[in-house]
Structure 1
Amino acid sequence: MAIRTFSLLDIKGALALSDRSYAVVDLETTGTQRHAGHKIIQFGCAIIHHAQITEHISITINPERAVPREVLALTGISQASLRTGPTFDEVAPTLHQLLADKVFIAHNVNFDLPFLNEAFENVGLPPIEPLAYDTVELAQVMLPQAVSYRLKDLSTFLNIVHEHPHQADSDAIATAKIFLLLLKQIGQLPRPVLQQMVALSHYLSRQTGEVFEQALHEKTAQELPSYLQKVGEFVIRRQKPTDTTLGRHAHDHYPATDPEKRQQFDQELKPRPAQFAMMDFIYRYQNNEASEKLIIEAPTGVGKSLGYLLPLSYTLTSLAKRRLVITTSTTVLQAQLDRQAVPLLNHLRGVNFRVAMLKSASHYLDFDRLAAYLRHGAKNRGTAINEMRILVWLTQTQTGDLDELQITNYATEFFQSINHLPTLVPSSQYFEADFWRRVVSRATSAQIVITNNAYLAQHLDDFTSDQDMLVVDEAQHFAEDLTQSSHGYFSVMRLQNRINQLLELVRVLQDNNDVEPVLERLQSPLFACQLLLNQLIQQTQELNDQIVLLAHQNFIRETVYLQAEDIHPHQEALLGALEQVIDSLDRYLDQAIELEETLDHEALKSDTAQKMMALIFHNNQLERLQEHLLTAVDHLQDREFNQYGFYLNLDDDGINYQLNWLAMSHQSLRQKIDRQFSLQIYTGASLAVGTDFSYFLDHLNFNAHDVHCLRLQSPFLYQEKAELLLPQETYSPSENGADYDNWISNTILPVLRQTDKQTLILFNSLSSIKNVYGRLQSALGFEREVMAQGITGSNDKIAKRFRLAKNAILLGSQSFWEGIDFPGEQLSLLIITRIPFESPKNPTTHYRNSLLKAAGISPFNADTLPKAILKLKQGFGRLIRTETDRGIVLMLDERVVNSPYASKVQQAFPEKLPKLILPNQQLGHHIQDFFRD
């Protein structure tokens, strides 16, 4: 029989959380499948009495069988210590007695406790059934902004010394320290938050939720601390009062000479001649009465953010109405500017600039939608943990920006149900506290506005005329981002699927009226919804038929590019079908709103309330799909629609298709920007091919006579800090598929085995990443952590995990070629699999190539090659980030030295970078020697 020393009621009534005895357990095993005969090889335990770690136990256990080499490498346990250790049946009675009267704690309790109990049963002892808490779930709830919840990463996040990860005793002690910190945080939660947590806590594993019940039971304080306030159903952090004073103006005059700059920076920043040149260049033109466009290539190490912020800041302090708008290619770069660059500027100037960071509403939490989801949303363990972590996060966040949560996937139904819609409801009880409203309001009075290219393009009219200074950071993306900002699509299949889901929900609600009387009076609006949805099914089929006619084929197997002559004959019928669907969607959504307003949610049973929440969620998604259809109508009716590229391509599922449109010209946006901003500064690390800015200027339709260009030199001595390494035996990079991916794996595996340096491997293809990751993970997974884009987490999350690691390997594509910063030993070996030529199947590339061909220009020479060189330049820039960095680039593409355009490609690398071609078998040894020296 199982041993259970105390009941839940006994412990709640008898002992406070801080007075209990806990056994914090960690096991190392020969494998993870307990039913497959895997055995315990190490038992670690930290005992907690009265909130103090009083002892710890470590026992190496002889499994009486061979232990996989990978497990020995991971844990550091030797074969000799295993052979001389006791067997589990020898220590089992002692362990059984040790654990019988304590609360059982583990980092993933559903692994350790069942594994241990099966081991007890195998030697004839009954399983233990203690109260059991999971520190993974407690950390997910109480540390909502942590990057990772692995034990090693949590220890780093909480500044806990964890000397020997994957050794049971060290892991147990680290887990115990984390648990004590979490207990303290839980005890500090306000009573209203604890009440909300308790309502969700029964979804947690084992008895983990009991921690919150007991904390509420012990909570005596009723009043909230001064830094919190109650708004509606939520306890949120009070907004810090906005400081509208500029400060003491310690430095009112621009330091025009280098000695003055050195004096102003004093000992706080190392003087950088290239940065000083950038500052002077900007200051010279910023106060001109004529409109100015400045193009500045500032390599890594120049310090370009401060290079433009400092000179422009003097205009902000001397002319009250001037404002600076900074736009970047990604929200990650926005955050870096907001958290690092602007605070540094404030410090150096002795000024407190008012700053606002603008991004789309969907990045922010919506209180009303969260409240509705807490009441009626679908509940399971995953959604309950997310709801609980958000309730804790609301007591911490000043921004309400969901990106703070480090979620891997924001596209889930839960996050799509609670994120902010583009509209505000003034009548809401949360209107004053609304995070998105605060962001928009702050931007109206800010002196510095930090946004991204997509937001700028879509909200350009929102920027007032006094915001007349524009900095485009990482400007190599600006032209394409402007074009992509008008990219849109719709999928008839997605629309039909959404309508069918709604139809099924409506039918279920109609059928439930006999068991839930409150639904009886809703039969009429439900029936009206059903009729309109049935009508929509027929109309979307007609729309589908019209779109298929454009492709001149019954099935779409690959991207179909549409010309004006493909669309014109069917344009009127297509528009008619679109307008019919839009009209019916209008009538359905009006009817759905009436249904929602009639409904008394509080009177519904739980299951029906969840179905109504699902109905509201699908209606919101349907409204978003309708916006796509409206945009399609606008584009098809545009007299200049020949400027738009239309194409049909397969949806993500590989079966259904989408109708896409892409603006070929961003000239109208460029003209608006020219009217809005008299001073425009475009800067980035890779704007010139060699010394030539022509490619960049052509993409933005700039005339060379209308701009002022500056190309700064890198401050790094690459001849001393880095090498470019190429293998002697190569595989043609023009080949794709499994054979090429196998060659990559076979080439880099020996290298990765011979060095333990942090390694970033850059690919052009996500499919190649998947193939190579499988090989590397299988071969190296027990020795080194292998992370891969699209496989092991979101880009932001794995980048942050990589920064915390010691000898990890990261496989990345797309965004990992640029915009990420791994200084020092965070990155020492960079492997580039091939020159990053863009696929000609990319719709933007296809249309750009079509225009160039029509003009009699070679797309490869004019566009494909220079774009690849600039991207390769960005990729190389990931390696050396500071003057003390050292590293090697291993380039696997023979075309760098063996192609008609090799000399042009080599312009992507610093001129003095040493280049070596070595036999493949010598690559790893050479890299070892490089870092040893």
Structure 2
Amino acid sequence: MDKFVVIDLETTGHSAVKDDKIIEIGIVVIEGNAITDNFSTLLNPEKPIPPFISNLTGIMDKDVKGAPTFQEKANEIIDIFRDGYLIAHNVPFDLGFLNTELSKNGFKPLSNPVLDTVELSRILYPKSPSFKLGQLAEFLEISHNDPHRALSDAYVTAKLFLLLKEKLETMPFETIDHLLKLEKMFKSDLYQLFNERYEALAFSTNEPEHITSYRGLAFKHIPEPQDIQEEADRSFGDFLDAVYEENGSMKQHMKNYEKRNGQREMSETIYDAFQLHKHSLIEAETGTGKSLAYLLPAVYDAKKTKHRIVISTHTTQLQSQLLDEEIPLIQKLTPFPFRAALLKGKSHYISLEKFERTLNFEQTDNYDIALTKAMILVWLTETETGDIDEIHLPASGYPFYKRVATDSEGYIDPYSPWFAHSYYQKARRRAQKADIVITNHALLCTDMFNDYQFLPAYDKVIIDEAHHLEETASRHYGLKLDYVNMQFILNQIGTAEETKSLGRILAKHSYDSKELPLEKWDDIFAKTKYELDDLFHFLFQYVVNRQRKNKSLSDIGRTQYRFEADKEDPDSWNSLLEMVTRLTFFLRDLIHILAIIEQYFEKSEVLDKFDKDEFKLNTQLLQSFIDRMEQLFLTENEIDQIKWIEAETLSARNAVYLYSEPTDISNLLANDFFEKKQSVILTSATLTMKNSFTYIQKRLGLSADRLLTKKINSPFYYDEQLQLMVPNDFPDIKHGDLEHFIYATCEAILSLAEITSGRMLVLFTSYDMLRKSYRLLKETMDTTKYVLIAQGISSGSRTRLKKNFQTFEQAILLGTSSFWEGVDIPGDDLSCLMIVRLPFQPPDHPIYEAKSNYLKEEGKNAFFELSLPNAVIRFKQGFGRLIRSSNDRGIVFVCDARIIKARYGKYFTESIPSVPITFESTHHIMEKAKEWF
């Protein structure tokens, strides 16, 4: 069959079953790898088109008034599909609508073989940032002139399919062989496409040059890095002149280059700290260009001293930006070659050895795992890193990936071919040979608290996004335990009869069942799972009862309860400790039985490396449960710890998470990090409060005698680019007027949206308030005019919500938590930022509450030492979302009058760049905003 018919529909809604109708159909025919025909028609749905659909597609009621009905065009449509594959981007939607209409009109449903370009794109383009048609078109550079019109979308889908066929022609034999074995699990009828490629390759000896294969697995060949001997041969001042000055390399290699004095100042401060073996805190405001400013002295010093420098970021987004954009630019700017490498923790890298084993020795039991395996197979022919963050697996593909990640593989013999092919080992070798090693705060802290065994040795480090270091270090020094993860791991080990970890090992080897305590294993395994259920149900109920008693039970889903053994209800707490002790005994019994089974097989010498790794990993995981439960409940900790329980009150009765963190991380950081390193540079756009570094210095344990501090001001003209507006007539939440406050907020959102044509980002401090505001806005706003996007309500990740916001002409984006930082929406896409409340931590948050008590015991003011500085830094992060370039212009509207009226308000206003502030009635502010725009 060599005919492929691509279809796209526009409809009045998402559900044919609920009587939504087709309003436009577009069909494109492909024969012999070329588009040969097309068909398009509007259809009269004989019902009104919803405004949202008209807004999206541009199709109005008047356009379909004289159009034919589906009944009149059905025969023509059926005829086009004769003897062809049916292709659509999301087949269930288009074919579902088409067949529903055919059945309703007395025609037989279509039964053509189908190809879904969403599924095929996921398999063949696993690195695509999204699998929506528009984003795929952008990724593959397919022109898409008229999105959300049927024929245009059908043409784009047809071009996409031709590219997918082309891509398939590049796949090596081993990859196709595995894809054919998985094919029956897919929703598309892919056998013919895969088999044609398989047969073409079966007798071919032409292997693609860039592909290596081992044990039936094909992957991209990655050459080992070569040494670069050349070093910096000039003074640092001359080096900076050659880069920054009027005719320097920056001007030659950067479009629209504008000299920024602060950038050079920052480079010089960092180099001074390196030379003096001092640490440094540098606040570099938005627009400084801090990445380039710190990379230049880092590269120069690494080459001059022949000692690598580590750069750590909080987000993978900044890591990618450094590696893909900033490092290639620096390589053009500097006169000497250097090498940079990225190193993450083991869990990020796939183990080829483990993956090959699951492909060849395990059944694929569900669709998501089949799709995950297929995506990984294709990705292996492209990836140079083996870093799973490069692709977006289906949600339930991640548990499968965990089983084939490098941290699950145990010991590899350095002489084994798998060791030579290991992505993690290659990443380590690249890092060993690199001048600059880029990593993340998580691995930096893991390394720090594990005697520096994960990163290559270093004396100097630059920490970007440094306002997150305290939080990350605390989390890594503490621990987490939760029901879902414990249950998942137990299920992965399984009973003797199941085809899970233990069952798979038993099934491979012959044994005398009388000599193995398998019945005992199954019995204790069942008891362990029962005790686990019982313990977490008890914890759930305990937290709910205590929070009810304290009148602090949240109605929004998650409640947090800090526990201190000496302050708990003695009877309940003793019952809890008995349950924890019982569970640890059962877990110890399981470890003991695993050891007996392993020793039995060891005597016969039948266990292979994988079996041994599996026993070792399972023992470690069970032991880690015991260790963590003992630390949380049964033993005294050397360091003062905050311990708390979080429960999802609207979820299952065992959705419980246990945490602990040190009350004060500063001494640990001082002794384990700052004392041991020559120079630590900490930089961020938000480190100071009222131009003082005192707060962050204390929190991180930095001693003044080895510290340089520097504040680099933004090159932007904030006083001309931005207005800060605060209404003086909003209801006061303090007096319990929350509903009226939300109503006033929503009114202000709608009024400002009129002035700025949408293009608004609204930042909330609580999801509950965001949700209530969303509901009210939905009821009162003109949904044909504005698109309302809300974090946690609209589907998609933060990046996806941001892209959707930028796609629509007039959109309002409501965000909380993660939207306060790291979201860049430059230019006209964002004209107004609304901050609903000043971002203070809730006083009953376990970490805040414990740290407050700790400070009070030391005779300090917890509000001024902890709560206020945290809120100011968070506020600065939010404030920084609006002005991202010298051309941006906008309004920051703060609904919270405390910023002006409270005695601490000046800490907020004096911690941001100097801008005009208006404190007037809402009506007056709206008039002023109209004038200003």
TM-score range normalised by the length of the shorter chain: 0.7 to 0.9
* Distance in structure 2 (CA, Å) of the matches to 1:486 and 1:409: 29
CA distance in 2, matches of 1:387, 1:776: 43
- 2:217 maps to 234
Aligned letter for 2:653? Answer: I
Deviates more, 1:686-695 or 1:358-367: 358-367
Q: How far off its partner does 1:531 sit? A: 4.2
SS at match of 1:698: helix
Secondary structure, in 3 states, of the residue corresponding to 1:207? coil
CA apart distance, 1:668: 2.7
Match of 1:421 in 2: 407
What's the counterpart of residue 67 of structure 1? 49
Alignment of 1:454-533 (within 5 A): 454-460=442-448, 461-462=451-452, 467-491=458-482, 495=486, 499=490, 506=497, 524=516, 526-533=518-525
Q: Distance in 2 between matches of 1:582 and 1:376?
A: 27
Aligned partner of residue 459 in structure 1, secondary structure: helix
Which residue number in structure 1 is paired with residue 661 of structure 2? 662
Shift in CA distance, 189/883, structure 1 to aligned 2, threshold 3 Å: same
In structure 1, the residue matched to 2:592 is 587
Amino acid at match of 1:700: L
- Does structure 2 conserve the Cα–Cα contact (< 8 Å) formed by 1:121 and 1:127? yes
Change (3 A) 1:808 1:181: farther
Quote the residue 1:330 is aligned against.
315
Superposition deviation, residue 96 in structure 1: 2.0
SS at match of 2:73: helix
CA distance in 2, matches of 1:686, 1:24: 52
Quote the Cα distance in structure 2 between the aligned partners of 1:816 and 1:355.
30
Secondary structure at the residue paired with 1:266?
A: helix
**Residue number in structure 2 paired with 1:7:** none
**Matched-pair contact (CA < 8 Å) for 1:295–1:682:** yes
Aligned-residue identity in percent: 27
SS at match of 1:661: strand
Which residue in 2 is equivalent to 1:292?
A: 278
Alignment match, 1:49: 31
Q: In structure 2, what is the equivalent of residue 387 of structure 1?
A: 373
Say whether 1:399 aligns with 2:385: yes
1:559 positional shift: 4.3
Aligned 8 A contact 1:331 1:359 in 2: no
CA distance 1:600–1:365, change in 2 (3 Å): farther
How far apart are 1:899 and its partner, in Å? Answer: 2.9
Deviation at 1:205, TM superposition (A): 1.9
* Cα shift readout 1:739-784 (whole Å, capped 9, x = no counterpart): 7666655543564476555443322233444555566678787763
2:624 is aligned, of 624, 627, 635, to 627
The residue aligned with 2:556 is none
C-alpha distance after superposition, 1:359-408 (max 9, x if no partner) = 22112212233234334255222222221111111111111111111347
Aligned-pair RMSD on alpha carbons? 4.2
Counterpart mapping for 1:251-400 below 5 A: 253-255=236-238, 261-262=244-245, 263-264=247-248, 265-268=250-253, 269-288=257-276, 291-320=277-306, 322-374=307-359, 375-400=361-386
- 2:592 alignment partner AA: R
Partner Cα distance (2:380, 2:68) in 1: 50
- Alpha-carbon contact 1:373-1:417 (below 8 Å) kept: no
Residue number in structure 2 paired with 1:861: 864
**How do 1:847-926 residues align onto structure 2 when only pairs under 5 Å count?**
847-913=850-916, 915=918, 917=920, 919=922, 923=926
Q: Decide whether aligned partners of structure 1 residues 776 and 431 sit closer, same or farther in structure 2, where only a CA change above 3 A counts.
A: farther
Q: For 1:251-272, what per-residue CA distance to the aligned partner results, in whole angstroms no more than 9, with x for missing partners?
A: 7653377687313323334311
Instruction: Measure the CA separation in 2 of the matches of 1:482 and 1:399.
Output: 26
**Deviation at residue 445 of structure 1 after TM alignment:** 2.8
Match of 2:418 in 1: 430
Offset of 1:912 from its aligned partner? 2.2
Deviation at 1:37, TM superposition (A): 2.2
Partners of 2:732 and 2:295 lie apart in 1 by 46
Matched residue SS, 2:5: strand
1:900-928 deviation digits (Å, cap 9, x = unpaired)? 322222234321245465636985x8767
Q: Which residue of structure 2 lines up, in the alignment, with residue 3 of structure 1?
A: none
Look up the match of 1:245. 228
- Which position in structure 1 is the counterpart of 2:14? 32
CA distance 1:112–1:500, change in 2 (3 Å): closer
Match of 2:690 in 1: 690
Q: Indicate the SS of the match to 1:440.
A: helix
Distance verdict in 2 for CA 1:238–1:508, change over 3 Å = closer
In terms of mean alpha carbon deviation, does 532-541 or 335-344 score higher? Answer: 532-541
Opposite residue 888 of structure 2, the aligned amino acid is D
> Which residue is 2:428 aligned to?
440
Distance, in Å, in 1 between the alignment partners of 2:222 and 2:898 is: 56
Distance (Å, rounded) in 2 between the aligned partners of 1:90 and 1:306: 64
8 Å Cα contact 1:528-1:591 kept in structure 2: no
**Structure 1 residues 97 and 326, CA gap change in structure 2 (3 angstroms):** same
Distance 1:252 1:358 in 2: 30
- Per the alignment, do residues 812 and 71 of structure 1 end up closer, same or farther by CA in structure 2, a change over 3 Å counting? same
Which amino acid in structure 2 is aligned with residue 655 of structure 1? R
CA deviations over 1:181-229 (Å, ceiling 9, x no partner): 1111012111211111111122222424543233324446343211111
**TM-aligned CA distance change 1:745 to 1:849, over 3 Å:** same
Distance in structure 2 (CA, Å) of the matches to 1:520 and 1:196: 32
Instruction: Return the alpha-carbon distance in structure 1 between the equivalents of residues 778 and 200 of structure 2.
Output: 47
Secondary structure class of the residue paired with 1:255? helix
For structure 2, the residue ranges without an aligned partner over 5 or more in a row are: 554-558
Question: How far is the alpha carbon of 1:509 from its aligned partner?
Answer: 9.4
Task: Give yes or no for contact 1:254–1:311 (8 Å, CA) kept in 2.
Answer: no
- In 2, the alpha carbon distance for the partners of 1:677 and 1:566 equals 41
SS at match of 1:153: helix
3-state SS in 1 of match to 2:169 = helix
For the 8 Å contact 1:759–1:828, the answer to whether it is kept is yes
**Code of the aligned partner of 2:477:** S
**Matched-pair contact (CA < 8 Å) for 1:26–1:168:** yes
Deviation at 1:106, TM superposition (A): 0.8
Q: Residues 783-794 of structure 1: matches in 2 within 5 Å? A: 784=787, 786=789, 788-789=791-792, 792-794=795-797
Partner residue in 1 for 2:837: 834
Match of 1:190 in 2: 172
Question: Structure 1: which amino acid aligns with 2:518?
Answer: L
Q: Is residue 193–residue 392 contact of structure 1 (8 Å, CA) maintained in 2?
A: yes
In 2: Cα distance, 1:389 partner to 1:318 partner: 43
Counterpart mapping for 1:733-772 below 5 A: 733-734=733-734, 744-745=745-746, 747-749=748-750, 751-752=752-753, 755-756=756-757, 758-772=759-773
Instruction: Give the 3-state SS of the residue equivalent to 1:281 in structure 2.
Output: helix
In structure 1, give the amino acid aligned to 2:50.
P
SS of corresponding position for 1:646: strand
For residues 858 and 89 of structure 1, the distance between their equivalents in structure 2, rounded to whole angstroms, comes to 76
Deviations 1:284-332 (A, max 9, x none): 33222xx312111100110111112212322212221x22112222333
Structure 2 Cα separation of the partners of residues 194 and 763 of structure 1 = 49
Distance of 1:83 and 1:545 partners within structure 2: 60
Q: 1:591, 1:224 → 2: CA distance?
A: 47
Q: 1:831 to 1:231 in 2, by over 3 A?
A: farther
Q: Does 1:136 align with 2:123?
A: no
Range with bigger deviation, 305-314 or 643-652: 643-652
- Name the CA shift for 1:581/1:120 in 2 (closer, same or farther; >3 Å): closer
- TM-score scaled by length of structure 2: 0.85
Q: How much does 1:577 deviate?
A: 5.8
Seen in structure 2, the aligned counterparts of structure 1 residues 451 and 578 have a Cα distance that, compared at 3 Å, is: farther
Say if 1:522 and 1:354 are closer, same or farther in 2 by CA, change over 3 A: farther
- Asked if the contact 1:190–1:224 (Cα under 8 Å) also holds between the matched residues in 2, the reply is yes
The offset of 1:273, in angstroms, is 0.6
SS at match of 1:35: coil
How many residue pairs are counted as aligned between the two chains? 897
